[in-house]
Amino acid sequence: MTVKHNLTVGERMRRTEEFEVIIVGAGPAGLCAALYAGRGLLKAVVLERGVPGGEMLNTEWIDDYPGFEHVLGRDLAARMTEHARKFAADIRQENVESIARRDDGIFEIATTGGTSYEAPAVILTAGGTPTKLDVPGETEYAGRGVSYCAVCDGAFFKGEIIAVVGGGDAAVEEADYLTRYAEKVYVIHRRDQFRASRLLQERLFANPKIEVIWNKQVREMKGTPAGLETLELEDTVTGQASTLPVTGCFVFIGFRPNTGLVRQHFEHDASGYIITDDRMMTSIPGLFAAGDLRVQLTRQITTAVGDATTAAIAVEKYLADRRSALDAKAQVGV
């Protein structure tokens, strides 16, 4: 239960706005949820800490979204944003601090801007964050040779020599996948053995287009305005430096779902991804999740908007059922 006394001065000064549903995150899932909420005539707001678009803004070209054979990520993001706004989407630049559900079933969302948002339903579409190497050149060449998604960007490297960084299941599996496009794939791992499952390793070692580079770590990425050209490596045992010519580098050293905003415990898998039912409802009643932070087989724009479509329509039914329950209680004087 939310205690109304013992509030700080800052908390007492917060301005509160009420909605039927609050959408946290304005990537493809959030924008799609906003579109459907608008179609459903729900009083909704979308809270996004940056520019609408999410990871699409970090992807140069997208060629696997139906209806768009070859589109810039920022252009698709702009089109999705415009489409959502045509259905009266209220998109606000707000940095969400926390999401908490009261005993009365209302969610309170606190923001760093000082506004509190309240609603009986929340759709969490905050996505996830790929773990980066944090080396010079990585940010500069993101989308111009550096990628964090093989399915998204692999087709852009047909006939080229590329590298995969990592040693877990994702790195090993995606390296094998990328050989359908690349002429050669180097797998760079800072240790002398993989953490990946034995079956995936066997498949990788049997692939003639893959070469493993053990005990190496990337220290810098270099290139030209046209894109990535080399990786500067360091031996983790001897410290010896070397250069690897590649035109692409796929980094798979981890992915963190952005679920830390939720204050209550929710069901999740071992990696922290949210478990939902077939309506995208989490174990917290009224809290729905869509997109990359949800447990699922693959994380693509198409799956994100599919999740969001289901979540937004499910919210309509959830709110109707909630109103009916409240009306029934009022009639019996509870």
Structure tokens at 214: 């053990």
Find all residues with CB under 8 Å of 268, minimum gap 6, and list them. Answer: 259, 274, 275, 295
152: annotated active-site residue: yes
Backbone region of residue 333 per phi and psi (left: phi > 0; alpha: psi in -120 to 50; beta: other values): left
Which of these is catalytic: 63, 64, 90, 153? 153
Closest CA to 29 of 311, 313, 317: 311
278: annotated active-site residue: no
153 in Cβ contact with 147 (< 8 Å): yes
Q: CA-CA distance, 168 to 283, in Å (whole number)? A: 29
Q: CA-CA distance, 26 to 78, in Å (whole number)? A: 11
21 in Cβ contact with 123 (< 8 Å): yes
Which of these is catalytic: 75, 103, 149, 321? 149
Beta strands in 214-292 (DSSP E): 216-224, 227-235, 241-245, 248-251, 255-257, 287-289
**Cα dihedral sign for 237, 227, 300, 53?**
positive
Which of these is catalytic: 32, 152, 176, 249? 152
149: annotated active-site residue: yes
Sheet holding 241-245, edge to edge: 216-224, 227-235, 241-245
Residues designated as active site: 149, 152-153
